[in-house]
Amino acid sequence: MNSDLQKILVDEQTILNRIDELAGQINSDYAHLESIVIVSILKGAFMFTSDLLKRINVPHVVDFMALSTYGAESKVSGEVRVIMDLRHPVQNQHVLIVEDILDTGLTLQFLERILQTRNVASLKTCVLTQKEGKENNLINIDYLGFTIPDVWVVGYGLDYADKHRTLPYIAELKPEVYT
């Protein structure tokens, strides 16, 4: 294990098993539709999205957005910025947002507002992780992978200063690394 890590919170096989379950739910819920648009939030959700898409059998189109609330700091700025927008219109489309983590909820709230103004037919969210105690009444998570401790986590797309994203598991980062 990397010396920056405190401990592994969710191992690779547990992640893949849960993704199988989430994909099954999504396939069932969207089975009646001709197509859906899956919006993956970069950079953090890329690994989750990739593994999820391998298991989704509902016809779909994939697009990407990049949003930022951190910048180069380890603290949330309170401001969400669109770094990269969707390439294709989503008007009258059934949209599924795929996100890596719900922490403050700022990013998902911002994204939901943006997509609603684009007159989507429906909007659901699939989130890999949510921190304990960070439930947000303004955000409805339709598909949730894991509830994790309220600590800095890395791996499986999650990062600290763009490091540790490609670990095949989710781990707690040692506090001395980010303080």
Q: Quick one: how far is CA 76 from the chain centroid?
A: 17
- Check the CA dihedral 104-20-154-61 and report its sign: negative
Q: Is 103 a catalytic residue?
A: yes
Phi, psi angles (nearest 5°) of residue 154: -140, 165
DSSP letter for 163, please. B
User: Which residue out of 4, 11, 51, 103 is catalytically annotated?
Assistant: 103
State both tokens at 174.
């040692």
- Give the CA distances from residue 49 to residues 27, 56, 76, 126, 176, in Å, rounded to whole numbers and listed in that order: 15, 10, 24, 10, 30
Contacts of 121 (CB under 8 A, 6+ apart): 92, 93, 94, 95
Q: What angle do CA 78, 83, 89 make, to 5 degrees?
A: 115
State both tokens at 129.
């992780």
Catalytic residues: 103
